């Protein structure tokens, strides 16, 4: 059989499973690796942030301990200076007493600020821990 120029050929395709029809299982398989990689990324970031926060907590606690030691030392020196002032109220001693009192107030203020910051960091850490356990 020969084909003339005016002959047309009609090809009819049968529907296959790989056509443009909607296949939820194929979409689920395509999304699943993305979800898994997002979950892995989230866990990695959470782990990294957890490590950084724990390290920060340790350093912040060391700073608070150091500030407490400085505060106790200044209190002790203030008591000793007060004793000296009772014994010999010289202008020189009065001047240094005022300086030490000023430093004591600043250290106390810094100590309060550090405790406030530590409380905030603890709250953030607690929220991150709760988010990690709930799968966020």
Q: Tell me the residue range of the domain where 66 lies.
A: 25-133
d(C-alpha 47, C-alpha 36), whole Å: 16
Asked if residue 63 is part of any domain, the answer here is yes
- pLDDT tier, 18 (very low <50, low <70, confident <90, very high otherwise): very low
Q: Does a structural domain hold residue 72?
A: yes
Tally of structural domains, the chain? 1
- Asked, for residue 118, whether it belongs to a domain, the answer is yes
Q: Is residue 1 part of a domain?
A: no
Look at residue 83 and tell me if it is in a domain.
yes
13 within a domain of the structure (yes/no) = no
- Residue 11, in any domain of the structure: no
- The pair of structure tokens assigned to 59 is 């350093």
pLDDT of the residue at 20: 46
Kindly state the percentage of the chain with pLDDT values over 70. Answer: 70
Three-state secondary structure along the chain? CCCCCCCCCCCCCCCCCCCCCCCHHHHHHHHHHHHHHHHHHHHHHHHHHHHHHHHHHHHHHHHHHHHHHHHHHHHHHHHHHHHHHHHCCCHHHHHHHHHHHHHHHHHHHHHHHHHHHHHHHHHHHHHHHHHHHCCC
Given a contact cutoff of 8 angstroms between Cβ atoms, the answer to whether 76 and 106 are in contact is: no
Q: What is the pLDDT of residue 88?
A: 65
Q: Which residue has the higher pLDDT, 17 or 75?
A: 75
Q: Is the pLDDT of residue 26 over 60?
A: no
Phi and psi dihedrals of 50, rounded to 5? -60, -45
pLDDT at 68: 84
Domain membership flag for residue 3: no
pLDDT, tens digit (0-9, with 9 covering 90-100), for 66-121: 888 988 888 898 888 888 777 765 677 777 778 888 888 888 888 889 889 888 98
pLDDT at residue 31 above 70? no
């Amino acid at each position: 059989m020969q084909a003339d120029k005016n002959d047309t050929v009609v090809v009819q395709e049968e529907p296959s499973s790989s056509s443009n029809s909607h296949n939820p299982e194929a979409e689920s398989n395509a999304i699943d690796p993305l979800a898994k990689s997002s979950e892995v990324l989230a866990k990695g970031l959470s782990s990294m942030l957890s490590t950084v926060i724990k390290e920060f907590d340790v350093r912040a606690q060391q700073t608070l301990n150091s500030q407490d030691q400085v505060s106790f030392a200044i209190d002790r020196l203030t008591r000793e200076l007060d004793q000296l002032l009772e014994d010999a109220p010289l202008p020189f001693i009065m001047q240094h007493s005022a300086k030490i009192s000023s430093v004591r107030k600043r250290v106390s203020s810094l100590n309060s600020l550090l405790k406030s910051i530590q409380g905030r960091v603890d709250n953030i850490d607690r929220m991150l821990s709760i988010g990690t356990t709930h799968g966020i």
